């Protein structure tokens, strides 16, 4: 699987994502600076990592969504390439409209950083095939603006189309319907607030994030 990680000013999980990808694919991903006009040829997966792109100025992910690399990211998704947006990356994907809804300030108004129990809602996706459906896993969260919101029509559509892949068990941020991760209509773009790259069986104290990378490797 050929992969790339987009790096913005303020990204702080880009190297974690690269480590996870190299561990599971055996190949180091391309690290693509956000001002590049295009992505490398032949990519299977592009990761938009966590962090604080542009210092979260204006609105989380809003400035990054207007970076020069974004048209190439959209073109990659439009061709059916896989895209994984983690935490700030999820915020970027909603700002680019590759995914619906928005991420706003946590309901508690506090930064949340802890291992978080999740339910894998479906194993029938390129991102979750290595898990058992409706299984419970633990993935770290670390965010201040992880409260997923959308209008009722959008939420009902996501539920009806099986596009909610991860749901919080013990909601840490007030997200509508406990949503922790959603996919695009074509099933190729995933945005999630929890950090699977921080749970791959190294020194982190958990390995439940590995299933996501195993799933992507099998799909690619």
* Mean of all residue pLDDT scores within the chain: 95
Active-site residue, 60 included: no
Largest separation between any pair of C-alpha atoms in the chain: 43
Q: Which helix (H) or strand (E) holds 68?
A: none
DSSP conformation class of 150: -
pLDDT > 80? residue 204? no
Query: 113 - beta bridge partners?
Result: 142
5-27 pLDDT tens trace = 999 999 999 999 999 999 999 99
Which residue range forms the structural domain that includes residue 134? 3-219
pLDDT band of 68, cuts 50, 70, 90: very high
Active-site residue, 34 included: no
* Residue 161, token pair as written in the block: 């189309």
125-150 pLDDT tens trace = 999 999 998 999 999 999 999 999 99
72-116 pLDDT tens trace = 999 999 999 999 999 999 999 999 999 999 999 999 999 999 999
Place of tokens 């929890």: 194
Please tell me which residue in 87, 95, 121, 144 is annotated as part of the active site: 87
Number of structural domains (the chain) is 1
- Tell me whether residue 35 is exposed, middle or buried, using C-beta atoms within 10 angstroms of its C-beta: 0 to 12, 13 to 18, 19 or more: exposed
**pLDDT of res. 115:** 95
Q: What is the CATH number of the domain that holds 171?
A: 3.40.50.880
Distance, CA of 55 to CA of 59 (rounded, Å)? 9
Active-site residue, 195 included: yes
């Amino acid at each position: 699987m050929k992969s790339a990680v987009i790096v913005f000013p303020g990204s702080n999980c880009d190297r974690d994502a690269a480590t996870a990808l190299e561990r599971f694919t055996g190949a180091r991903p391309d690290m693509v600076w956000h001002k590049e006009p295009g992505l490398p040829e032949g990519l299977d997966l592009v990761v938009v990592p966590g962090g604080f792109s542009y210092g979260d100025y204006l609105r989380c992910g809003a400035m990054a969504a207007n970076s020069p690399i974004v048209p190439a990211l959209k073109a990659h998704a439009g061709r059916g390439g896989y895209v994984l947006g983690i935490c700030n990356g999820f915020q970027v994907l909603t700002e680019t409209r590759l995914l619906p809804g928005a991420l706003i300030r946590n309901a508690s108004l506090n930064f949340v950083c802890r291992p978080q129990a999740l339910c894998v809602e479906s194993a029938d996706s390129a991102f979750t095939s290595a898990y058992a459906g409706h299984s419970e896993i633990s993935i770290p969260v670390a965010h201040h603006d992880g409260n997923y919101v959308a209008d009722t029509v959008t939420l009902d559509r996501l539920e009806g189309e099986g596009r909610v892949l991860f749901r919080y068990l013990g909601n840490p941020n007030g997200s509508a319907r406990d949503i922790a991760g959603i996919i695009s209509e074509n099933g190729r773009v995933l945005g999630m607030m929890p950090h699977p790259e921080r749970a791959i069986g190294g020194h982190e104290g958990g390995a439940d994030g590995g299933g996501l990378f195993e799933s992507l490797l099998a799909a690619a």
